[in-house]
């Protein structure tokens, strides 16, 4: 599916997958199930990199702040460089205004 995506969307998806894995590797007790690199502030694509200073990831139905910088390889097949910094839990009263949901969405 990734090869069929437009370049910027492919970068985002590769970086999202990498972020979920990196968070778990950093702390094996965390297994986030969702990430939104532009939850709290606009994320930017610069060349082959995703720069997100206002992202969020979800773990056990709670959202947490994250900043990340992710660079994909020139062939858009893998991640070349990745760094992140996690932050505090995002207050639940801010979730709706940033389209963050606690529940899993059931698809028919």
pLDDT digits (tens, 9 = 90+) for 32-53: 999 999 999 999 999 999 999 9
> Rounded to two decimals, what is the model's pTM?
0.86
**pLDDT recorded at residue 3:** 64
Q: Give the number of other CB atoms < 10 A from CB of residue 30.
A: 15
pLDDT, mean over the chain? 90
**Residue 96, Cβ density class (10 Å: 0-12 exposed, 13-18 middle, ≥19 buried):** exposed
In the chain, % of residues over pLDDT 70: 92
Structure tokens that stand for 47 in this block: 């060349």
Structure tokens that stand for 12 in this block: 């985002």
pLDDT-based confidence at residue 2 (cuts at 50, 70, 90): low
Q: Which domains does the chain have, with CATH numbers?
A: 2-91 (3.10.450)
**pLDDT recorded at residue 6:** 86
Structure tokens that stand for 101 in this block: 């949901």
Mean pLDDT across 65-72? 97
Closest CA to 67 of 11, 107, 7, 23: 23
Q: Which of 1-5, 59-63, 65-69 has the lowest mean pLDDT?
A: 1-5
- The CA-to-CA distance between both ends of the chain, in Å, stands at 20
Q: Identify whether the C-beta of residue 50 lies closer than 8 Å to the C-beta of residue 43.
A: yes
Mean pLDDT across 67-96? 95
């Amino acid at each position: 599916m990734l090869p069929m995506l437009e370049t910027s969307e492919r970068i985002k998806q590769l970086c999202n997958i990498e972020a979920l894995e990196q968070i778990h590797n950093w702390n094996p007790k965390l297994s986030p199930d969702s990430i939104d690199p532009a939850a709290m502030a606009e994320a930017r694509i610069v060349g082959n990199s995703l720069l997100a200073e206002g992202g969020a990831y979800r773990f056990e139905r709670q959202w947490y702040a994250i900043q990340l910088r992710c660079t994909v390889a020139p062939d858009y097949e893998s991640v070349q460089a990745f760094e992140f910094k996690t932050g505090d839990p995002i207050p639940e009263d801010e979730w709706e205004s940033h389209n963050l949901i606690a529940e899993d969405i059931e698809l028919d």
